[in-house]
Amino acid sequence: MSTTAGPSAPAGADERLLRTSPLRRLLGRPELGSVVGAAAVFIFFSIVADSFLRASSLGTVLYAASTIGIMAAPVALLMIGGEFDLSAGVLVTSSALISSMFSYQMTANVWVGVFVSLLVTLAIGAFNGFMLTRTKLPSFIITLGTFLMLTGLNLGFTKLISGTVSTKAIGDMEGFDSARKVFASQWTIGGVEFKVTILWWAVLVAIATWILLRTRFGNWIFAVGGEADAARAVGVPVIRTKIGLYLGVAFAAWVSGQHLLFSFDVVQSGEGVGNELIYIIAAVIGGCLITGGYGSAIGSAVGAFIFGMTSKGIVYAEWNPDWFKFFLGAMLLLATLLNAWVRKRAEATK
Amino acid sequence: MARVRTGVRAMGAVLAAVLGASLVGCSSTGGKRAEERAARAAAEGRAAVDTPRWTFAMVTHSGDGDTFWDIVQRGAEQAAVKDNIKFLYSHNDEAQQQAQLVQAAIDQKVDGLIVTLAKPDAMKDVVTKAVKAGIPVITVNSGSAESKRFGALTHIGQDESIAGEAVGEELNARGRKKALCILHEQGNVGHEQRCAGAKKTFDGQLQNLYVEGTNMPDVQASIEAKLQADKDIDAVVTLGAPFADAAVKAKRTAGSKAEIDTFDLNAKVATALQDKTLGFAVDQQPYLQGYEAVDLLWLYRYNGNVLGGGRPVLTGPQIITAKDAAELAQYTKRGTR
């Protein structure tokens, strides 16, 4: 890590200055294992499922991947920073509920609700970060608390305000159409429909990658994830970094939440539970270490893509649906194992 | 610390600005005001009888935030107001927890008990215990086969197999050949019975598809994938109202010609039926399940009446098409259908 400034070795022998071949460098990338895994999953379903290779199927698989990937990118960054967020799944639902209910109750232009939702969602993210850095409790406990509180608030508030457990339809309100264009539109390219979430996903992954590899904040993320105390000792603002990471997750939750709202018009308050694990799984398949300090944003995208291919590939293959969950679990496990194996081989060749 | 405080202050300022903007940036269409203008909700209920204020408890297997159970609860609450009943509602989707909630109701010495038997084996002991303690029990929604055996007065609900059979027949009448049954909760017995019932009477071919009910985009993508994989599918039946909408979107993206049909009703389904986006909906009238359960318990307490003659009292299936949807739309909006 560039932040651990030890006594400098003689310039010629410094391993950091050694020239490495492009192949070596490629093998050292954290997402390499997952790319190989993704290729394996892709080839597998291309063989067993006739309709998997059709162009229209690509749009469907990418959509499934993008709804996970949008969240997996900031979750991956958070994991590299050494923390978890178990509230990420329900936060998406909270975000959708807030903008829907605010617009409806205030009879406001839908965009006002969208903006309020952004503020509140970021505030919840900040709450996670503040609590974590203040109390020094593990993020597992903090965000588990937030997860439960949000689940209760989602239900309680929705029922209190709209009288039922789902929100009222806001499809006839002003601003809905333009908001739908931003968060839930789709394009047809060559007869294949692509959802706008794919674009959001690509942009978020690109931004996350840029932050991670090209900015000072990116170095801080690796540093606090690797060894927080050492990072603090060399002047990394640990608290600000961690809060920033939670804000990132909150922002992505807002994007996903708005997609949920504007593509389905009505939001069910009980949704989202369990999705936080899927985001974490996508990040782990993508090469993030659960212990922090290692991983990449592109890897999380590949992880989300593997998840999208697996869950939809099973449908395309028309397998007996009784075994759905089993296949899903087995595929994920295999992909992760392959990923770990490739990484070990890659590190051995160094 | 100073930075944090200015941050909070800035946030407060932004929030105030937004609240101000929301007053200016009003929507002239839709929203709460439109609804209030459109119709005043049903008048505040008042007890219609002067029988003692009995306490009835209802314990269901509903998960958190389930739209269906929300309507059942509303029916029960309105009947309770009318019958001068103190109504207690609790729910848990874990069988063991549900049994504990029933035990709690027994401990409270309630005057009547309404339970669902989604997982009958787990509920057997505690229900028979309630009956032994002299508490009249009525089962609703699920458990028609076990209800009498456990000592309940009556069972109120839809027979899931019969409901499924009705769907199969309706699909035949509409000339469908290949149908898809979307299950949003893997392992739910009622869901399996519905699809099995439909399969029994449907002359064409019917396949099951499991989807992740808590993740709507995933539901949509799964149905989309299935419709792309099999272009011959000409009917999709979802088992819950919210999933019908996802199916409609999936159909559009997949470029499929399939007709989308659904179990259960909500405001969106009612509208979609009217504009023919949906073919038909099978309603089991959840409001009736709650309302009748409370009312029948009251009748039993007051007058010793029992309904059904030892057989389940069926609240469905009622097949709803575009014809009936217009009238029902207003009831779905207020949350009683």
Q: How far apart are CA B237 and CA B260, in angstroms?
A: 6
Nearest CB to A165: which of B11, B70, B210? B70
Contact A117, A98 (CB under 8 A): yes
Q: How far apart are CA A182 and CA A316, in angstroms?
A: 30
Confidence at residue B42, expressed as pLDDT on a 0 to 100 scale: 42
> CA geometry: angle at A63 spanning A61 and A66, to 5°?
110
Contact A165, A155 (CB under 8 A): yes
Asked if B165 is an interface residue toward chain A (Cβ–Cβ < 8 A), one would say no
Asked if B38 is an interface residue toward chain A (Cβ–Cβ < 8 A), one would say no
Name the pairing type of β-strands B318-320 and B278-283. antiparallel
Contact A75, A251 (CB under 8 A): no
Asked if B35 is an interface residue toward chain A (Cβ–Cβ < 8 A), one would say yes
Query: Does the beta-carbon distance from A104 to B245 stay under 8 Å?
Result: no
Asked if B66 is an interface residue toward chain A (Cβ–Cβ < 8 A), one would say yes
Within 10 angstroms of residue B132's Cβ, the number of other Cβ atoms is 10
Mean pLDDT of A301-318: 88
Asked if B6 is an interface residue toward chain A (Cβ–Cβ < 8 A), one would say no
Tell me if residue B200 falls in helix, strand or coil. Answer: helix
Q: How far apart are CA B238 and CA B227, in angstroms?
A: 14
pTM above 0.80, yes or no: no
Q: How far apart are CA A15 and CA A18, in angstroms?
A: 5
Nearest to B153 by CA among B109, B98, B112: B112
Which site among A52, A56, A60, A100 would you substitute to test the B interface, given the most B Cβ atoms closer than 10 Å to its Cβ?
A60
Nearest-CA distance A94 → chain B (Å): 13
Query: Does the beta-carbon distance from B26 to A108 stay under 8 Å?
Result: yes
Which site among A61, A114, A117, A166 would you substitute to test the B interface, given the most B Cβ atoms closer than 10 Å to its Cβ?
A166
pLDDT over 90 (residue A192):
no
Residue A208, amino acid: A
Q: How far apart are CA B334 and CA B75, in angstroms?
A: 12
Query: Does the beta-carbon distance from B255 to A56 stay under 8 Å?
Result: yes
Interface predicted TM-score (ipTM) over 0.90: no
Nearest CB to A155: which of B65, B215, B218? B65
Residue B147 φ/ψ, nearest 5 degrees: -45, -55
Question: With contacts defined as CB-CB under 8 Å, which chain B residues touch A106?
Answer: 22-23, 26, 31-32
pLDDT over 50 (residue A268):
yes
Q: B155 - beta bridge partners?
A: B139
Q: A188 - beta bridge partners?
A: A193
Q: How far apart are CA B238 and CA B68, in angstroms?
A: 14
The two counts, helices (H) then strands (E), for chain A are: 14, 2
Mean per-residue pLDDT of chain A: 87
Tell me if residue A195 falls in helix, strand or coil. Answer: strand
Asked if B26 is an interface residue toward chain A (Cβ–Cβ < 8 A), one would say yes
Strands (E), chain B: 55-60, 86-91, 112-116, 137-140, 154-157, 178-183, 205-210, 235-238, 259-263, 278-283, 313-314, 318-320
Residue in A closest to B218 by C-alpha? A64
From first to last of the 337 residues of chain B, give the pLDDT tens digit.
445 555 556 656 665 665 555 555 667 677 776 666 554 444 456 788 889 999 999 999 888 777 788 899 999 999 999 999 999 999 888 888 888 889 888 988 899 999 999 888 888 889 999 999 999 999 999 888 889 999 999 999 988 899 999 999 999 999 999 999 999 877 777 888 999 999 999 999 999 998 888 888 989 999 999 999 999 999 999 998 889 999 999 999 898 999 999 998 888 899 999 999 999 999 999 999 999 999 999 999 999 999 988 889 999 899 999 998 888 888 888 888 8
Contact B136, B300 (CB under 8 A): yes
Sign of the C-alpha dihedral, residues B216, B219, B225, B227? Answer: negative
Question: With contacts defined as CB-CB under 8 Å, which chain B residues touch A88?
Answer: none
**Length of chain A in residues, anyone?**
350
Nearest to B260 by CA among B171, B198, B330, B326: B171
Q: How far apart are the first and last CA of chain B?
A: 53
Query: Does the beta-carbon distance from A273 to B214 stay under 8 Å?
Result: yes
Query: Does the beta-carbon distance from B214 to A60 stay under 8 Å?
Result: no
Nearest to A264 by CA among A161, A192, A195, A190: A195
DSSP conformational letter for B224: H
Nearest-CA distance A9 → chain B (Å): 40
